[in-house]
């Protein structure tokens, strides 16, 4: 009697399912495994053609600013020499001293300003290079079925103080990986054969 009572609700449920045309919910399928790779972004940036172009442009701009400053220093030296030879009561002495002071201040300002502008432009180019390198990584990952790419570095941890060492440890989030997961060389090989991806717009430098 107890067995019949236990079976009856199950039979009733089956009858209701058949009557309503409702199929039991299937068990949820296990998520597909995600292919993972690692990549050394810094190594790729150093190897990227745009990085060398940006670095060369910075060095050229700094050297040009320093060359201009050398011209100013020669003018200043000439004026200082003229002042030493001029009598103390010369009528144009005060004007020459004023011109000398202005040249010194203006010359130092100009070289610092030109270097700052060059550095700001360099930073903008570095942001663009980083975006393009990320684009190459993403394109390679999609083409080869990688759903997740993690940043790693094979460089040794360094730092002269704890304040330098600890951040160097923290940014190394991947502490172990098999060499077969490293796609750095494969992505690097795409630089010459693929056009750069369009990076996100580079924000203008914040005013200082």
For residue 142, pLDDT over 60 is answered with yes
Task: Tell me what percent of the residues of the chain surpass a pLDDT of 70.
Answer: 79
**DSSP letter assigned to residue 182:** B
User: Over the stretch 38-88, which tens digit does the pLDDT of each residue have?
Assistant: 999 999 999 999 999 999 999 999 999 999 999 998 888 888 888 888 788
As a whole number of angstroms, the distance between CA 133 and CA 43 comes to: 10
Cα 163 from chain centroid? 22
* Domain boundaries, position 86: 33-188
15 within some domain: no
52 within some domain: yes
Domain count of the fold of the chain: 1
As a whole number of angstroms, the distance between CA 106 and CA 100 comes to: 10
121 within some domain: yes
More confident residue, 153 or 147: 147
119 within some domain: yes
197 within some domain: no
Q: What is this structure's pTM? A: 0.68
Q: Angle, nearest 10°, between helix axes 93-143 and 49-85? A: 170
7 within some domain: no
User: Over the stretch 85-134, which tens digit does the pLDDT of each residue have?
Assistant: 878 888 888 888 888 888 899 999 999 999 999 999 999 999 999 999 99
161 within some domain: yes
25 within some domain: no
**DSSP letter assigned to residue 29:** P
**Structural contact between residues 137 and 197, judged by C-beta atoms closer than 8 angstroms:** no
């Amino acid at each position: 009697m107890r067995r019949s009572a236990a079976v009856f609700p199950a039979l009733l449920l089956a009858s209701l399912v058949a009557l309503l045309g409702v199929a039991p919910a299937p068990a949820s399928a296990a998520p597909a495994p995600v292919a993972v790779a690692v990549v050394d972004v810094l190594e790729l940036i150093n190897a990227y053609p745009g990085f060398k172009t940006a670095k060369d442009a910075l060095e050229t701009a700094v050297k040009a600013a320093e060359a201009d400053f050398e011209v100013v220093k020669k003018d200043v030296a000439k004026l200082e020499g003229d002042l030493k030879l001029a009598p103390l009561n010369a009528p144009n002495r005060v004007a020459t001293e004023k011109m000398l002071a202005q040249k010194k201040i203006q010359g130092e300002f100009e070289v610092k300003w030109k270097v700052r502008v060059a550095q700001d432009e360099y930073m903008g180019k570095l942001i663009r290079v980083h975006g393009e390198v990320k684009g190459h990584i993403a394109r390679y990952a999609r083409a080869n079925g990688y759903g997740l790419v993690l940043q790693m570095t094979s460089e040794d941890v360094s730092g002269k103080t704890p304040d330098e060492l600890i951040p160097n440890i923290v940014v190394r989030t991947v502490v172990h990986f098999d060499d077969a997961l490293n796609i750095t060389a494969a992505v690097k090989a795409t630089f010459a054969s693929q056009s750069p991806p369009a990076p996100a717009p580079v924000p203008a430098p914040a005013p200082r």
